[in-house]
Amino acid sequence: FRAALHHFGICLSQRREWLGFDHVDVADVLLHMASIYTKENDFELAANFLQDSDEIWKSKLENSEKLLSVLMISGKRWKAIHRYEETEANFEQALEMAITLHGQKHELVADILLDLGEFLQEISQAQQAFFCFDESIEIRSALFG
């Protein structure tokens, strides 16, 4: 992992020099570096890189499929480092965005509800988790019978 971090560090420096500190390509490198630090169990550094990445993505992309995807990836990475407030915020923002982009009865909305429900169950919020699971099942039943 150290070699990967070294190369990502070089890439990050170059992109910041060429593109600026708030470019989405910089955010992408930060997100990858956060993933490696998570695997290294350096959750503090992972959180720093995730925070910087989230700030760039959210400032540069409006409601879009790309931002929705990044919110879900980032939410799962926040979850991996046990930062549950950030996890829930990203999942909920992704859910709101999916509903805005696709409407309530869409497979992606059901997928996000399932991920959110699993997260809520893990942090012992069973009632909210069951609500998400029920909503996900209802959407899938309406879509697929």
pTM exceeding the 0.85 threshold for the entire prediction: yes
The string of DSSP letters for 24-90 reads HHHHHHHHHHHHHHHHTT-HHHHHHHHHHHHHHHHHH--S-HHHHHHHHHHHHHHHHTT-HHHHHHH
Q: In the predicted model, what is the mean pLDDT of residues 62-91?
A: 94
DSSP letter (8 states) at residue 22:
T
Please report the sign of the dihedral spanned by the C-alpha atoms of residue 11, residue 12, residue 14, residue 15: positive
Q: In the predicted model, what is the mean pLDDT of residues 85-89?
A: 96
Tell me which residue has tokens 């420096």.
13
User: pLDDT tens digit string along 27-70?
Assistant: 999 999 999 999 999 999 999 999 999 999 999 998 889 999 99
Give the pLDDT of residue 2.
85
Confidence check: pLDDT of 87 > 90 = yes
Q: Which helix (H) or strand (E) holds 133?
A: helix 126-144
Mean pLDDT of the chain: 95
CA 121 to CA 12: how far, in whole Å? 36
Q: In the predicted model, what is the mean pLDDT of residues 6-24?
A: 96
Tell me which residue has tokens 């407030």.
85
Give the pLDDT of residue 62.
84
Give the pLDDT of residue 25.
96
Give the pLDDT of residue 145.
86
Confidence check: pLDDT of 89 > 90 = yes
CA 72 to CA 84: how far, in whole Å? 13
